[in-house]
Structure 1
Amino acid sequence: MNWNSLLSAQREFMEHKKSDIRNAFQRDYDRIIFSNIFRRLQNKTQVFPLPGSKMVHNRLTHSLEVASVGRSIARIVSKKLCDKYGKDFLHEIYDIDTIVSAACLAHDLGNPPFGHSGEETISSYFKEGPGKDLEKHIPEYQWSDLISFEGNANAFRQLTHQFAGRRQGGMSLTYATLATLIKYPYPSFNKKGKKKYNIFHSEIDTFKKVMDGCGIVCLDEETLAYARHPLSYMMEAADDICYLILDMEDAHKRGIVPTEKIDFFFTSFFRENESWFFDRKDFIYETVTDNNERMSFLRATAINKLVDCVSTVFIENYDSIMEGTFQNSLVHHLPDFENNALSECRQFSLRNIYKHPSVVKVELTGFNVIGELLDMFVKAALQPEKTYNKKLLSIIPEQFKNDNGDLYSKIQVVLDYISNMTDLYAVQLYKDLKGF
């Protein structure tokens, strides 16, 4: 793979624009951040309930912070590559920080209400719930999209699908930004035991155009498995760093995790010989008495440390990344010391944060609300001629409707509508339809 192709500014629908001081990738960033679908993330759960008296992350603030971290990783990598290959190399990779930050902004756009529990609810509905009876009417290669509904694949769909009344090419982002968004470059029916994938059957043609347009290696033409775009590793690392560190900070603000624990975990990223950190920490603790401010310092320095580390991992594995043979994530290849510290944070979060009653209650709410809405609208889509169902389907905005008569497409109309809901909208619609 080469950067000239990887940084393709090609779009699915190329507009004839007047001169613009922004380049193609800056326009990508701006299109995402000004879009309605991005704005809706402010009312989608990250981990903890919304709204609340404590200011914790929602999907919007999380995405903005991931974009910031992703930009930093890309800039450090750019500098390291130029140091290694000469300053002329900068012309080849000049825009990678903008591309990575744009993809980071978009990485959660496909998540349904209530976070990952929303994904699980949709999957469960078709895999073991009322929707299971539809399996015999839908081809296996489409059914796999439904029984393992994936927010990553839905993000690609939301960005590329031409919804009714909307312009060609969806948001019409560059191929480089779209390819950077793809962490799992294969469709659902070929994920081969893996939990995640990035492409619904309905977007396969667009997926192939994007990957081929960027000159990305196709690993298996029969299964449509591709190598990853090199920049996708940076986006993934930014997301990994942010959610692991910032979920702990949010848990501290909610009083779930004591200050001493946060201090211990965030300090564990630094070796004893990194005296600059301990000197700075002592100074902060002597001059700052607010625990939240102290934790903000520890959070910032931990993130900076991990950003430097994953940037180094990218450079060390540059050849295999460019060849399409690199395996796993950048975080997975951290040095043992930092990897152990991050693993401890992850294990603690799994035991004490993600299983906390306040988090579980959100998940249960999601199961009930999304499950009920899904059941009502799917049944209506199957029998649209009934009076009640006609009224119910009239609620769905025109942009999500299509004229395709197959069952898979009818279900996608419902999933497009529900996955675009905010948590608050979903709850209110549920109450309205149930007469509460």
Structure 2
Amino acid sequence: MNWQQLYSTRRTGSENKSTTYSDALRTSFLRDYDRIIFSSPFRRLQNKTQVFPLPGSVFVHNRLTHSLEVASVGRSLGKAVGDALAAKYPNEGEDFKEFYKYELPSVIAAGCLAHDIGNPPFGHSGEDAIRTFFRDLTGEAKQRFESQLTPNQQRDFLYFEGNANAFRTLTKSFGENTTGGFRLTYATLASIIKYPSDSLSGFNKQQLVTKKSGFFDSEINTYQHIAQELGIPQLEPGKNIYARHPFVYLVEAADDICYRVIDFEDAHRLNIISINTLKDLFLAFFNEGEGYDARERVEETYNKISDDNKKVEFLRARLINLLINRVSTVFMQKEAELLSGTVKKALIDYLPERELKLIKSIDDFSVAHIYNHRSVVEIEIAGYNVIGELLKEFFNAVVTPTSAKSFKLLQLISKQFVVTGQPDKLYEDTQSVVDFIAGMTDLYAVDIFRKVTGITFPKIR
């Protein structure tokens, strides 16, 4: 891969049109950001669980606020790396300088905005609920699922992945005559594909690129076009396994930084962890700092703040700033490996040993006290039940579309998610059901669940 080819402005749905855009106010990459932030799927993230249940009397992050904060960190990472690349290659021309010095931050910020846009309701338990439903199929439903879907298509559901669903959400024009979905640039789309492999090749943790999957069977051709345009190499002949686009590492790093730090802030607001525990874990990062990052300087300012929540906000900001600087330095150190597609870990995993131990301490504490907190477990169980029951009702309606109940149920699916009812379209119809359910907010999923199961009755509107 080479830096000159990795920032194409070509868009899905406009492959045969000019790749330039002359608007003096909004460049191609700023338009990507705007298209995402004004979209319905992005707005719905405001009622999707990040970690803790929503809504509550105490503010905690949802998927939308998390994505906005990741975008802010991603923009800073893009700026740091873009400036470094522009300075390192001063003879590459004005287009090169313009992109890396001024446009890369917009690409990374847009990728960060979209990184969770394919996640179903109820956090990661929503993904697990979808997988579990299809793995537990029995009878005629299982027989048709296994006989009419290819192995790769089956694994799209058996190993349902929010990352792959994000790519589908952004590139498919659901029920519309136009093509290309959000019509984002190839550069922005490539930046969110953390695991550039299909479902059949994915979920093999021996390689970073196959740890999960990045695109469903239905979007393979779309990704192949992007890979060809940007010069992303195929790693294994005959298999849909590709190298990661270098920008992916920056989007991933922004997410890695935010969730580790912000989940602690939420846990403190909910009185799950004490201010002293958070202080000890966060301040330890500055033990060997100098100047602005010297521990005594950070602690001096911290001690002047009287409100505990403000203390946490201060430490959060300082730690995020420190990690942005560390990660952007690692990116430039790994430049040759990034371009050859041989980087084997996330950028944050290449930090110095001392800082890695501190990050592990945060991870261990989070697993023990945050991610297994009672309220988190309760929302996960609710997610299993709600999504599992919705899939049971709507998938069975797809399998037996002629029954009276199925006919009624299929009328509840939004028209943008087309269910044909044709026997040879089981993959496409199943995708429409999953698209419908995965796009729901937490509250809407609960509302539909109650209505289709008869727990509550709808009001006449």
1:247 to 263, 282, 300: 263
Distance in 2 (alpha carbons) for counterparts of 1:342 and 1:391: 51
Equivalent residue, structure 2, for 1:115: 123
Equivalent residue, structure 1, for 2:189: 178
How far is 1:348 from its partner?
0.9
Which letter does structure 2 place at the counterpart of 1:153?
A
1:91 to 98, 107, 113: 98
- Superposed, which structure 2 residues align to 1:187-198 within 5 Å? 187-191=198-202, 193-194=204-205, 195-198=211-214
Distance in 2 (alpha carbons) for counterparts of 1:81 and 1:26: 20
Equivalent residue, structure 1, for 2:208: none
Q: Is 2:453 the partner of 1:434? A: yes
Which letter does structure 1 place at the counterpart of 2:3?
W
How far is 1:132 from its partner?
4.7
SS in 1 for 2:70: helix
Distance in 2 (alpha carbons) for counterparts of 1:221 and 1:11: 26
**Cα-to-partner distance string for 1:8-34 (whole Å, 9 max, x where unaligned):** 100122278884621111111000000
How far is 1:192 from its partner?
5.5
Equivalent residue, structure 2, for 1:37: 41
Q: Using structure 2 for the length normalisation, give the TM-score.
A: 0.91
- Superposed, which structure 2 residues align to 1:23-422 within 5 Å? 23-86=27-90, 90-91=97-98, 93-94=100-101, 95-130=103-138, 132-133=142-143, 134-165=145-176, 167-191=178-202, 193-194=204-205, 195-274=211-290, 276=292, 277-403=294-420, 405-422=424-441
Say if 1:3 and 1:92, in contact at 8 Å, map to a contact too: no
Which letter does structure 1 place at the counterpart of 2:269?
K
How far is 1:312 from its partner?
0.5
How far is 1:189 from its partner?
0.3
Structure 1 unmatched ranges of 5 or more: none
How far is 1:275 from its partner?
6.0
Which letter does structure 2 place at the counterpart of 1:213?
E
Of 319-328 and 45-54, the range deviating more from structure 2: 319-328
User: What root-mean-square deviation, in Å, do the aligned CA atoms of Structure 1 and Structure 2 show?
Assistant: 1.8
Distance in 2 (alpha carbons) for counterparts of 1:159 and 1:167: 13
How far is 1:84 from its partner?
3.1
Distance in 2 (alpha carbons) for counterparts of 1:272 and 1:192: 39
Which letter does structure 2 place at the counterpart of 1:34?
F
Say if 2:302 and 2:314, in contact at 8 Å, map to a contact too: no
Q: Using structure 1 for the length normalisation, give the TM-score.
A: 0.96
How far is 1:268 from its partner?
1.6
Say if 2:302 and 2:315, in contact at 8 Å, map to a contact too: no
Equivalent residue, structure 2, for 1:22: 26
Which letter does structure 2 place at the counterpart of 1:304?
N
How far is 1:335 from its partner?
1.2
Q: Provide closer, same or farther for how the CA distance between residues 294 and 231 of structure 1 changes in structure 2, counting only shifts above 3 A.
A: same
Distance in 2 (alpha carbons) for counterparts of 1:337 and 1:275: 19
Q: Provide closer, same or farther for how the CA distance between residues 147 and 267 of structure 1 changes in structure 2, counting only shifts above 3 A.
A: same
Q: What is the percent sequence identity of the aligned residues?
A: 46
SS in 1 for 2:315: helix
Q: Provide closer, same or farther for how the CA distance between residues 284 and 132 of structure 1 changes in structure 2, counting only shifts above 3 A.
A: farther
How far is 1:143 from its partner?
0.7
Q: Give the paired residue count.
A: 436
Distance in 2 (alpha carbons) for counterparts of 1:132 and 1:269: 52
How far is 1:422 from its partner?
0.3
Say if 2:47 and 2:442, in contact at 8 Å, map to a contact too: yes
SS in 1 for 2:235: strand
SS in 2 for 1:149: coil
Q: Provide closer, same or farther for how the CA distance between residues 357 and 192 of structure 1 changes in structure 2, counting only shifts above 3 A.
A: closer
Distance in 1 (alpha carbons) for counterparts of 2:437 and 2:24: 36
Distance in 2 (alpha carbons) for counterparts of 1:97 and 1:158: 23
**Cα-to-partner distance string for 1:169-192 (whole Å, 9 max, x where unaligned):** 111111111111111011010126
**Cα-to-partner distance string for 1:328-374 (whole Å, 9 max, x where unaligned):** 11011111121111111011101111000000000000000000000
Say if 1:3 and 1:93, in contact at 8 Å, map to a contact too: no
Say if 2:45 and 2:117, in contact at 8 Å, map to a contact too: yes
